[in-house]
A and B are shown apart, each in its own frame.
Chain A
Amino acid sequence: MKILVCISHVPDTTTKIQFDSAGQELNKTGVTFVINPYCEYGLSRAIGFREEGKQVSITVLCVGGPEVEPTLRKALAIGADDAVRIDAVPSDSGSVAGLIAEYAREREFSIIFTGKESLDFNGSMVPGMLAEHLGTAYVPAAIKMELKDEDSAVVHREIEGGKEIMNVTFPVVISCQKGIAEWRIPNMRGIMAARKKPLSVVKPAAVPAFVESTGFAYPPTKSECEYIDPDNVDRLVSSLANKGFI
C-alpha cells in the first residue's frame, strides 16, 4: 500500500512572529522551522500501519525551496521511506494543491495524509482541493483511523461538539488532527538512516495561483490588564455584568 504524507515547513510553535520592515513577509532570522505538527500526526499514523504489520511504503512530500530539505530529512529520520520536494514557492493553497495533485495523479497512492491545517497561513484548504483535483474521498480533521483491509478504513472525524465515524474506500485524502497518532522523536539510527534515503527534487507543473498575499501586520495590541483582588471577586461580577455577559 502506497502512502503519501504531505508536510509543510513552518516556524516552530514557540516562535515570536516578526515581519520584515516592509511588512511583506516573515522575518526568518533566528527562526527554527519544523514539520507542521498536524502533518507529523499523519506521518506517525502511517508508520503505525507498518508497525501493525501492514506492507506500506511511505513517501513524504513538501512544496518548497531547498530550505525545506532538513524538514524532509527529519521526516525520513522519523520513518518515511523516501522524500520528494516539489521545487516551487508555496504561495497559496490553490497552487500548492494543484502541484501536489499533478505529482500524485499517476502514482496510485491509497492514502494521502495531510495536516488539518498549516500553522503558517492557517488555510486548511489544501487537502480538500487535493481530493477534488484527484476525484477521491476526503475526511477532514481525522482523530482516529483503523484499516479494514487493503482498500478501506474506518475513520473518525472531529465535528462541533463530537465526532463522526466514517467508512471510506481508498484512494482517500485524510487531514490529521490530534488523536490520530502520537508524535515521535527520531532516534540516532533513524537519523543515520535518513542520510541515505532518497530525496528527489521535482520540477513544478504549471498551475495557477488563486490568492495573492499582499502583506502582514501585527494584531492590535491589548490594553493594560486590570487586576482585581481575589477578595473582591464581586468587582469581576459587576465588570462582566457591565459588558453584558450576565
Chain B
Amino acid sequence: MSVLLFAELSDGIIKKSVLEASTYGYDLAQKLGVNFAAVTVGPVDPSELEKLAQHGVSQIYTVGSDNAEAFVNAGYAVAVAEVAEHIGAKAVVMAQTYNGKAIAPRIAVKLEAAILNGVITMVDPSQSYSGTRMSYSGKGVQSFQAVKDRVIVLPMANSYGVKENPVQSNTEVFTSSSSIDAIDAIATELLKVSEGVSLTEAEAVVSAGRGMKGPENWPMIDELAQLLGAATACSKPVADMEWRPHHEHVGQTGIQISPALYIAIGISGAIQHLAGVSSSKTIVVINKDPEAPFFKIADIGIVGDLFDVVPKLIEGIKSAKATV
C-alpha cells in the first residue's frame, strides 16, 4: 500500500504546484502509515527528481515515453494508473493544473476511484476520506466523503502550502504499456503566450479591468506585477475586447485562483468576477468609485484614480526595494 503522486513535468521542470501536491501527499501517506511514491512521465533530469526527495517522496518511478512532450491525456493516464496498480496505491495525488485535471478523470475510471477535486483541507482517511472543497464558484464550501476505498485528490492551488520533508529516495525506471494511443488527440503545436509567472500557481496576482480605458495603458500593470513577482490577470470584458489574452481572464467563467495577494485595479467587482478570486488571502482594491462592490470583500481599499495611484505604488515599491 502507498500514496502515489503524479509529479507532472512542465518542460522537464517540477513546478511549485506539484511540490504543494507532494507536501499534501506526504502528509496523507503519514496519516495512512504507508509509503509515499511518485511517478514522472517523460524525460527528466535527476536534479529535478531531487526536489521530490526534498518533499517527502521515497520512491520515484520514471516512465520514459517517446512522445511525452506532446501531452496526451489517454497515454499519461495509462502510465499513472499502471504504476498505481503496481504499488497498490490507496490514493493518487496531483496538482490541480490543466493537465492534472485532464488525466484525473481517466485514472478515476480505470482505478474505480473517487475524485476529490479542489480540496481545501487534509482529507480524513479513517472517515471515508471526508474533507471539504469549494463549490458554487467560491460561494460555498462543500463537505464530502468518498464512496470508494480509493481516491484521487487534487488539492486547490495555494491552499495547503509547500513544506520540505527531506527523505532518502530511490529511483526506478518503470516500463509502461502506454504509448500514444489511437484515441489520443495529438498536439501539433504549443504556443506559450506568456513567459511570466503562471496564473494558477502565482503567490501574487495583479489584475485590471475596464477602468484601464485601453490596452495601451497596460505597461504599468506589467511593471507592478514584475516588481511583486506577480502574474497578471484581467476581468472578462477586458479579455472579450482583446485588450488582454483569453487565458488571463479570471472569474466564474474564467480561471479560479486563490493567491496570497490579489490586487484589483479598475475592476468593479461583479459577482461573476468575485467568484473566481474571493478565496485570495489578501485582496487590495483600487477603484475611483467608493460604491464599487469589490470593496465589500477587500482587505485593503484605495478610493482613487488608478492613473494616479498605480504609478505612486510602483515608485513606492521601487524605493522600498532600494532601501532593503
A-side residues, CB < 8 A to B, are: 11, 13-14, 16-17, 19, 26, 37-38, 92-94, 97, 119-129, 131-133, 135-141, 143, 154-155, 157-168, 172, 178-179, 208-219, 222-223, 225-230, 233-234, 236-241, 243, 245-246
Given contacts A93-B115, A230-B308, whether A162 and B145 have CB atoms under 8 Å apart is no
0/1 per residue, B281-323, Cβ < 8 Å to A? 0111100000000011111111111001100110011001100
Q: Are A219 and B194 in contact (CB under 8 A)?
A: no
Given contacts A210-B108, A237-B320, whether A160 and B189 have CB atoms under 8 Å apart is no
How many A-B residue pairs have C-beta atoms within 8 angstroms? Tell me: 266
Question: Which 6 pairs show the lowest CB-CB distances between chains A and B?
Answer: A128-B105, A230-B304, A237-B316, A17-B139, A168-B185, A162-B192
Residues 87-125 of B at the A interface (beta carbon under 8 Å): 97-99, 101-106, 108-110, 113-118
Q: Are B198 and A128 in contact (CB under 8 A)?
A: no
The answer to the question of B43 belonging to the interface, with a C-beta cut-off of 8 Å to chain A, is: no
Whole-angstrom distance from the CB of A154 to the nearest CB of chain B? 8
Q: Are B297 and A230 in contact (CB under 8 A)?
A: no
The one of B115, B184, B261 that contacts A123, using a Cβ cutoff of 8 Å: B115
The one of B105, B132, B193 that contacts A162, using a Cβ cutoff of 8 Å: B193
Q: Are A162 and B183 in contact (CB under 8 A)?
A: no
A246 to B106, CA, bound (A): 41
Question: In the complex, what residues of A have CB within 8 A of residue B204's CB?
Answer: 245
Give the B interface residue count (CB, 8 A): 101
Q: Are B143 and A214 in contact (CB under 8 A)?
A: yes
A145 to B74, CA, bound (A): 20
The one of B71, B203, B246, B301 that contacts A179, using a Cβ cutoff of 8 Å: B246
Given contacts A137-B184, A165-B187, A236-B302, whether A94 and B320 have CB atoms under 8 Å apart is no
A125 to B100, CA, bound (A): 11
Given contacts A120-B135, A208-B147, A219-B140, whether A127 and B298 have CB atoms under 8 Å apart is no
Residues 120-160 of B at the A interface (beta carbon under 8 Å): 130, 132, 134-148
Question: In the complex, what residues of B have CB within 8 A of residue A129's CB?
Answer: 105-106, 108-109
Q: Are B134 and A219 in contact (CB under 8 A)?
A: yes
Q: Are A216 and B137 in contact (CB under 8 A)?
A: no
A218 to B138, CA, bound (A): 9
A133 to B77, CA, bound (A): 13
The one of A122, A161, A237 that contacts B196, using a Cβ cutoff of 8 Å: A161
Q: Are B114 and A94 in contact (CB under 8 A)?
A: yes
Q: Are A237 and B313 in contact (CB under 8 A)?
A: yes
Question: In the complex, what residues of A have CB within 8 A of residue B108's CB?
Answer: 94, 125, 129, 132, 210
Given contacts A213-B143, A214-B143, A245-B204, 9 further A-B contacts (CB under 8 A): A14-B271, A94-B115, A121-B135, A123-B115, A128-B105, A215-B142, A222-B283, A222-B299, A230-B305
21 A-B contact pairs sorted by A residue (CB < 8 Å)? A13-B275, A14-B272, A93-B105, A94-B114, A122-B117, A123-B115, A124-B117, A125-B104, A128-B104, A140-B73, A160-B10, A164-B187, A178-B254, A179-B246, A214-B145, A216-B143, A227-B303, A229-B302, A230-B305, A233-B312, A246-B320
Question: In the complex, what residues of B have CB within 8 A of residue A245's CB?
Answer: 203-204, 228, 260-261
Q: Are A164 and B189 in contact (CB under 8 A)?
A: yes
Question: In the complex, what residues of A have CB within 8 A of residue B195's CB?
Answer: 161
Most chain-B Cβ atoms within 10 A of its Cβ — which of A17, A128, A154, A209? A128
The answer to the question of B176 belonging to the interface, with a C-beta cut-off of 8 Å to chain A, is: no
The one of A136, A155, A218 that contacts B141, using a Cβ cutoff of 8 Å: A218
Whole-angstrom distance from the CB of A3 to the nearest CB of chain B? 17
Most chain-B Cβ atoms within 10 A of its Cβ — which of A19, A210, A238? A210
Residue of A nearest to B309 (CB): A230
Question: In the complex, what residues of A have CB within 8 A of residue B109's CB?
Answer: 97, 129, 132-133
A50 to B118, CA, bound (A): 37
Question: In the complex, what residues of A have CB within 8 A of residue B217's CB?
Answer: none
Q: Are B147 and A209 in contact (CB under 8 A)?
A: yes
Question: In the complex, what residues of B have CB within 8 A of residue A97's CB?
Answer: 105, 109
A216 to B132, CA, bound (A): 9
Given contacts A135-B183, A139-B185, A158-B98, whether A212 and B246 have CB atoms under 8 Å apart is no
Q: Are B252 and A13 in contact (CB under 8 A)?
A: yes
Q: Are A178 and B253 in contact (CB under 8 A)?
A: yes
Question: In the complex, what residues of A have CB within 8 A of residue B228's CB?
Answer: 240, 245-246
Q: Are B136 and A226 in contact (CB under 8 A)?
A: no
Given contacts A178-B254, A211-B114, whether A239 and B73 have CB atoms under 8 Å apart is no
The answer to the question of B247 belonging to the interface, with a C-beta cut-off of 8 Å to chain A, is: yes
A172 to B74, CA, bound (A): 12
